[in-house]
Amino acid sequence: MKDIRPDPDLILDRIKEEEMRAARGKLKIFFGASAGVGKTYAMLSAARQQTEQGTDVVIGVVETHGRKETEALLTGLERLPLKAVAYRDRVLQEFDIDGALARKPALLLVDELAHSNVPGSRHAKRWQDVEELQSSGIDVYSTVNVQHLETLNDVVGGITGIRVWETVPDHVFDAADEVVLVDLTPDELLQRLKEGKVYLPQQAERAIQNFFRKGNLIALRELALRRTADRVDSEMIQYRRDKSVTRAWQTSESLLACIGPGDGSGRIVRSAARIAARLDVPWHVIYVETPKLRHLSEKLRLQTLKSLKLAQEMGSETASLSGSDAIATIIDYARDHNLSKVIVGRDHAQSWRPWKRSFADRVGKLAPDLDIIQVAREDTPADRRQEEKSTSESLLDRLRAPWQSFAMSSVFCALVTLIAMPLHTVFDRANIAMLFLMAVVLSAVRYGLGPAVAAAFLNVAAFDFFFVPPRFSFAVGDVQYLMTFAVMLAVGLVTAKLTADLKFQARVASRREQRVRALYEMSRDLSGALMPEQIAEISQRFAATGFGARAAIMLADERDRLHEAIPVPGGVPAVDVGISQWAFDHSAEAGWGTDTLAGSPLLYVPLKAPMRTRGVLVLEPSPSRRLMAPEQRRLLDTFARLVAISLERVHYVDVARATTVQMESERLRNSLLSAISHDLRTPLAALVGLADSMSMTQPPPTGQQCDIAASMREEALRMNSLVNNLLDMARLQAGAVKLNRQWQPLEEVVGSAIKAMRSTMAGHRVGVNLPAELPLLEFDAVLVERVLCNLLENAATYTPPGSTIEIGAAPAARDQIDIWVEDDGPGLPAGKEELIFNKFERGRKESATSGVGLGLAICRAIVAAHGGTIRAENRHGRGARFVFSLPCGNPPSLDGAEKDLPEEESPK
């Protein structure tokens, strides 16, 4: 039979996910094909219904665009005031996330999920605000147009010719708990447009008129319908999986998308996301940085980083690898991660090199077992131009050098000319040309590409002027020299390029080596660190050398609150506690150069260690250094991880040491206490026994002698109870008592306490009044029996013979059970109800009643150890009442108690 039971791990994951979802607020998206279909109207109507059902609904931000029908719906709903944010000497109204979090309604309405916040807000995008609202348990209603979905963005752009820059990542849309499609036929929409019922911003009217063409609207509607259908479909699949109709997950099928530098990568990522979603498989996106690609401009490399981030947001695994051969690296990665499909961008047509095989072909040739999918890159002319511009920019960048370098390379040329001048009679002119080449090489080695190129041109000029006849003139006598010039220039340029490249690579390699060495040294230092202060100092040092930044470490305590930055010799930057706590709570970077509060001058990096986030690393980048270069980012990540791991290690070293010390002192204390208890009790036991055996002596003792023996016995027993009390108190005070908590009925321990105290309470009437359906309680039977015994003894001591003592119990508030011992004696001295629980405190000092007043102190210590409380009060009528409470907890069920029994016939 085929095993169709669901995988228990999967179920566990699902339960965890459901639990997380239950804690998170729910997101409901009103989804439409275009503006004007009535999303906001539908959202407000739904919100009104919720209000009528008594839900606490608040409007966070709603754009009515002055529409009357929509505004009518707003009446009666609470509106959160917007926050004024200053931006470039204008004041803009923005959604106030802090206000929303403080108000914490059950349901919040946040229109336009794709909206980009004003720079300086906490998050760059509104959907990030919504995520934070959700994670603090607030339900959110929001609206999205189909063209704002990340993966559909370029498709819609292709249809309508209008690209929007405000997008929502698909994972946000997919993770929404509910999506409602608000649909309107194109004709109706156009009708509404004619009636002026659709909001159009004045400045873009023409573009928008183009947008609202019937063909566009039909296409958009189809997209929206299809996207919704996809979602419903995946819900169906999820449902089937939940009900384990069949497992539709093939882990072996997964995608690898390879992106290159440039704008095209974003499109590849989006295509890969769509394909992965359709196949319902996990996917990876990688970027291979070959030495050649390191020459690319900063801008292009940041573009790549952005694409990787985009991929991450869309739910893929990402990696940036470095290798000399991109194809081999890709294939290795695919094989290592068991990825069977590789997506690559189609190469630009290179008609001038028809022999060159495309990237996809080369991958396919080396790895015939992989499926290769080629997707189009963004290849619009505009993009191309931009790309070319950026590469040429990078070439210019590379030619740039300080003027001294150009001067020095000119000096080289002059020197060579000077040296060659007297030699030209001795040497052939071809050899003199060689000398000039040397100047190019030297310039390239010393000063880089720009000066070397300059030197190449200068040399040709100098050669022509000084050595080619007619000398001291740029005129050329023999045409064949033109050939010499050309070759000389070409050789000079190629040499300059090769040498400069070599030098550049050597520099890259040495920088990388530097970074690795710095990391190695830091990790070596960290492995020797024993205290967080040392770690802070080491990271300060590393931050200074590696990033030119100042660093500080803030540690979190057990309750996830961050402490002040650990002081280090160089001083710490002025830390914003709010941002650092945010970074810690969300385990995400915040501050300078990130999505969250990018306006802050400091960068806050959470220190994520395997067990938990340990704290926050705060960096103050110096203005001149660029921390955001890809290598630096990677270095920063590694840095943070190393610090986090060291902090965790130090933490556990502390824990281990504390445990050892505690164990040792506990052992010592226990052996001391048991030695004392043995040494004190043994003589008492002998005394009791010997007093007893006196009555058995021959000849039988007289009545008086018997009395004396009995008194001796009584005193010894009293001494014993005193010793017991003292030792118990010592144990409880030292925290050396380990509770042996078991689930048990209270009744049982009440019975055993009464039995143990029977002789003490011989002169009293004892009543028990326990409700029949008292739940099981979890407590240490011996200790709770002791509490009851002490209370009973107390009652028996302070009430006259013949009084009634009653034990009772009843459930009290807050998951507690109250248990009491009450009497009808004289009661407690007024005002002493609390004092009597102190050590060596007795109710009536003047009385002859025995005892040192430890009994109630012990009761209090025992009850406190159980997580309960104890108090004393005078009863309304007469007498005292001692009440202690024990927590209820979750009693174990008795299911199974009657099961699993060996078969046997039952009694008749």
DSSP string, 59-98: EEE---TT-HHHHHHHTTSEEPPPEEEEETTEEEEE--HH
493 versus 736: smaller Cβ distance to another protein: 736
Query: Residues 463-502 vs another protein: string with x where CB under 8 A?
Result: ----------------------------------------
Structure tokens at 181: 């499609």
How many Cα neighbours within 13 Å face the side chain of 364?
11
Query: Residues 835-874 vs another protein: string with x where CB under 8 A?
Result: ----------------------------------------
Query: In the set 727, 730, 739, 888, which binds another protein (CB under 8 A)?
Result: 727
Number of residues that bind another protein (CB under 8 A): 61
Torsion of CA 58, 63, 65, 71, to 10 degrees: -10
Rg (CA), the chain: 42
Say whether residue 891 binds another protein (CB under 8 A): yes
449 versus 788: smaller Cβ distance to another protein: 788
Structure tokens at 163: 């690209």
Q: Cβ(557)–Cβ(654) under 8 Å?
A: no
Token match 């300060």: residue?
A: 540
Q: How far apart are CA 588 and CA 753, in angstroms?
A: 57
- Which letter, b or e, does each residue of 376-412 get, where b requires 16 or more Cβ atoms within 10 Å of its Cβ? ebbeeeeebeebeebbeebeeebeebeeebbebbbeb
Sole window of 275-283, 384-392, 723-731, 837-845 interacting with another protein (rule: CB under 8 A): 723-731
Q: Which of 872, 816, 883 is closest to 843 using CA atoms?
A: 872
Indicate if the alpha-carbon torsion angle 885, 889, 890, 894 is positive or negative: negative
Say whether residue 677 binds another protein (CB under 8 A): yes
Q: Residue 899 Cβ, how far from another protein at the closest point, in Å?
A: 10
Say whether residue 709 binds another protein (CB under 8 A): no
Query: In the set 716, 805, 828, 862, which binds another protein (CB under 8 A)?
Result: 716
Q: Residue 904 Cβ, how far from another protein at the closest point, in Å?
A: 7
Say whether residue 685 binds another protein (CB under 8 A): yes
Q: Cβ(443)–Cβ(406) under 8 Å?
A: no
Token match 């002596």: residue?
A: 697
- Residue 262 has what DSSP assignment? S
Query: In the set 124, 717, 729, 865, which binds another protein (CB under 8 A)?
Result: 717
Q: Residue 762 Cβ, how far from another protein at the closest point, in Å?
A: 14
Token match 């067990």: residue?
A: 611
Structure tokens at 628: 């955001």
Collapsing DSSP to helix, strand or coil, 265 comes out as: helix
Other beta carbons within 10 angstroms of residue 641's beta carbon come to 15
- Residue 822 has what DSSP assignment? E
144 versus 863: smaller Cβ distance to another protein: 863
- Looking only at residues 19 through 38 of this chain, which bind another protein when binding is defined by CB under 8 A? none
Say whether residue 906 binds another protein (CB under 8 A): yes
330 versus 716: smaller Cβ distance to another protein: 716
Chain Cα centroid distance, residue 330? 29
Q: Residue 768 Cβ, how far from another protein at the closest point, in Å?
A: 4
Q: How far apart are CA 186 and CA 189, in angstroms?
A: 5
Sole window of 315-323, 331-339, 739-747, 834-842 interacting with another protein (rule: CB under 8 A): 739-747
Say whether residue 735 binds another protein (CB under 8 A): no
Sole window of 261-269, 362-370, 648-656, 714-722 interacting with another protein (rule: CB under 8 A): 714-722
472: left (phi > 0), else alpha (psi -120 to 50), else beta? left
815: left (phi > 0), else alpha (psi -120 to 50), else beta? left
Sole window of 17-25, 39-47, 69-77, 710-718 interacting with another protein (rule: CB under 8 A): 710-718
Say whether residue 748 binds another protein (CB under 8 A): yes
139 versus 780: smaller Cβ distance to another protein: 780
378 versus 822: smaller Cβ distance to another protein: 822
Sole window of 61-69, 185-193, 266-274, 746-754 interacting with another protein (rule: CB under 8 A): 746-754
579 versus 783: smaller Cβ distance to another protein: 783
Say whether residue 897 binds another protein (CB under 8 A): yes
Q: Cβ(114)–Cβ(145) under 8 Å?
A: yes
Say whether residue 687 binds another protein (CB under 8 A): yes
Sole window of 143-151, 412-420, 629-637, 684-692 interacting with another protein (rule: CB under 8 A): 684-692
Q: Residue 808 Cβ, how far from another protein at the closest point, in Å?
A: 11
570 versus 683: smaller Cβ distance to another protein: 683
Q: Residue 885 Cβ, how far from another protein at the closest point, in Å?
A: 20
Query: In the set 336, 558, 773, 900, which binds another protein (CB under 8 A)?
Result: 900
Q: How far apart are CA 449 and CA 444, in angstroms?
A: 6
Chain Cα centroid distance, residue 481? 70
Q: Cβ(301)–Cβ(628) under 8 Å?
A: no
Judge if the upstream peptide bond of residue 700 is cis by omega within 30 degrees of 0: no
Q: How far apart are CA 821 and CA 716, in angstroms?
A: 28
Q: Cβ(583)–Cβ(619) under 8 Å?
A: no
Collapsing DSSP to helix, strand or coil, 105 comes out as: coil
119 versus 745: smaller Cβ distance to another protein: 745
Q: Which of 391, 309, 330 is closest to 630 using CA atoms?
A: 309
353 versus 678: smaller Cβ distance to another protein: 678
Residue type, 512: R
Q: Residue 753 Cβ, how far from another protein at the closest point, in Å?
A: 8
Query: In the set 424, 586, 681, 741, which binds another protein (CB under 8 A)?
Result: 681
Q: Cβ(608)–Cβ(588) under 8 Å?
A: no
Q: Residue 667 Cβ, how far from another protein at the closest point, in Å?
A: 15
- Looking only at residues 68 through 87 of this chain, which bind another protein when binding is defined by CB under 8 A? none
What distances in angstroms separate CA 50 from CA 175, 414, 785, 902, one per listed residue? 22, 86, 54, 56
Collapsing DSSP to helix, strand or coil, 474 comes out as: coil
148 versus 731: smaller Cβ distance to another protein: 731
Say whether residue 431 binds another protein (CB under 8 A): no
432 versus 809: smaller Cβ distance to another protein: 809
Sole window of 44-52, 740-748, 827-835, 881-889 interacting with another protein (rule: CB under 8 A): 740-748
The bridge status of strand 613-620 relative to strand 603-608 is antiparallel
Q: Which of 364, 151, 372 is closest to 257 using CA atoms?
A: 372
Query: In the set 513, 747, 815, 834, which binds another protein (CB under 8 A)?
Result: 747
- Looking only at residues 782 through 811 of this chain, which bind another protein when binding is defined by CB under 8 A? 782, 785
Sole window of 12-20, 43-51, 566-574, 741-749 interacting with another protein (rule: CB under 8 A): 741-749
Say whether residue 675 binds another protein (CB under 8 A): no
- Residue 7 has what DSSP assignment? P
Sole window of 38-46, 414-422, 818-826, 896-904 interacting with another protein (rule: CB under 8 A): 896-904
Say whether residue 353 binds another protein (CB under 8 A): no
- Looking only at residues 749 through 768 of this chain, which bind another protein when binding is defined by CB under 8 A? 749-755, 766, 768
Token match 């000119």: residue?
A: 410
Sole window of 6-14, 144-152, 215-223, 675-683 interacting with another protein (rule: CB under 8 A): 675-683
Residue type, 323: G
Say whether residue 776 binds another protein (CB under 8 A): yes
Contacts with another protein, residue ranges (CB under 8 A): 674, 677-678, 681-690, 692-693, 695-697, 713, 716-717, 720, 724, 727-728, 731, 740, 742-745, 747-755, 766, 768, 770, 776, 780-782, 785, 891-892, 894, 897-898, 900-902, 904-908
